[in-house]
Amino acid sequence: MKHYLAPDTTIWKGRISNKSLYLHEKVKCVSLSDIPEPPKKSITLLGYACDEGVKRNQGRVGAVKGPETIKNSLGKMPNHLPSTVQLYDGGSITCSKGDMEASQEALSAAVASLLQKKQFPIVLGGGHDVAYGHYHGIKNYLDSKKEGQTIGIINFDAHFDLRQNTHNNNSGTPFYQIAMECEKENTDFKYLCLGIRKDANDRSLFQTAKELDVTYVLSDTFQIQFLDEINTWIHAFIKTVDHVYLTIDLDGFSSAYAPGVSAPSPMGFTPHIALECLKTIIGSGKLISMDIAEMNPKYDVDGQTAKLAASLLHHVVDTLYKA
């Protein structure tokens, strides 16, 4: 398979219990094509080892190593999954010779295949250009069922990522690309951004968000004391869609929690508000797939950002599949 790297078993290590007390003892490393359709619930981790989009967007490169770093941190965490729930590492989609578009196409095919096999895909990036390929994987899967189901995108992020792709596609353009395709197909573009910062988006991006009818919560409101109000917005958004695609950009968090990202800032949000909102999204029963973007181990401090990403994943899977 082009643009694909099989899972690396050496990434998964930690305390040895011989009782599957830790996730490195739970996970099964299986080539993407060999992942089975399970009789019961199952989760597949899939890397998107590509930071070409970050490079094109003039960001700090290094996120290509993000997937393996997150997996390594996750493996050390305790396993609370029921024995009936399988956890697979399906390897990583790769990028060669700067061909980001080919990587996005490969990711799209992989996500569609996983959904067809009744897996819950969790994609680990890599730049936020992961969102374009991931969204299309979900869309292609739903289109194959011919039921006309709608996808709502919820993005935890400081940035809209609605830059126009006049010169090239990059990590700042995925949602603009999706919006333009929705316009051509005469379908609704459903997009909710949580944590938008005014110091991270110029006025033209706010104007684009307005023209595309994007719903967003500014960072000064995306705080735990406003949780009830935020949950009201989330509930209202989710009611308008059939499925939710969740994408978490780690550079939305304050650099106090996430220094290892492409565009760090001390002005981001905290993990506490993100965790509470995740409970609301998962509780809707509409979450179909998710990803975490912009993990850049080159700039991480004491593995802090990797631990944050792993803790977010741990929280999601624990909430989805309570023992």
89 forms bridges with which residues in the sheet?
A: 29, 45
**CA-wise closest residue to 160 among 213, 197, 133:** 197
Q: Which class for 101: exposed (0-12), middle (13-18), buried (19 or more C-beta within 10 A)?
A: middle
Encode pLDDT of 134-145 as tens digits: 999 999 999 998
Q: What is the DSSP letter of 24?
A: H
Q: Residue 52 CB: number of other CB atoms within 10 A?
A: 26
Q: What's the pLDDT band for 11 if we cut at 50, 70, 90?
A: very high
Residues in binding site? 128, 157, 159, 161, 249, 251
Whole-number percent of the chain with pLDDT over 70? 100
Distance of CA 304 to CAs 3, 69, 146, 261, Å? 29, 11, 43, 11
Whole-number percent of the chain with pLDDT over 90? 94
125 forms bridges with which residues in the sheet?
A: 48
Q: What's the average model confidence in pLDDT over 210-232? A: 98
pTM for the full predicted model: 0.97
Average of per-residue pLDDT values in the chain: 96
- End-to-end Cα separation, the chain, in angstroms: 36
Residues in binding site for Mn(2+)? 128, 157, 159, 161, 249, 251
**CA-wise closest residue to 108 among 72, 134, 84:** 134
- 182: domain CATH number? 3.40.800.10
Residue indicated by tokens 């110091």: 199
Structural domain count, the chain: 1
Spatial separation of the C-alpha atoms in residues 138 and 141, rounded to whole Å: 5
185 pLDDT more than 70: yes
Domain coverage including residue 133: 4-320
* Interaxial angle between packed helices 130-145 and 100-116, expressed in degrees from 0 to 180 and rounded to the nearest 10: 40
Question: Around 157, how many Cα atoms within 13 Å sit in the side-chain half-sphere?
Answer: 30
Q: What's the average model confidence in pLDDT over 235-239? A: 98
46 forms bridges with which residues in the sheet?
A: 123
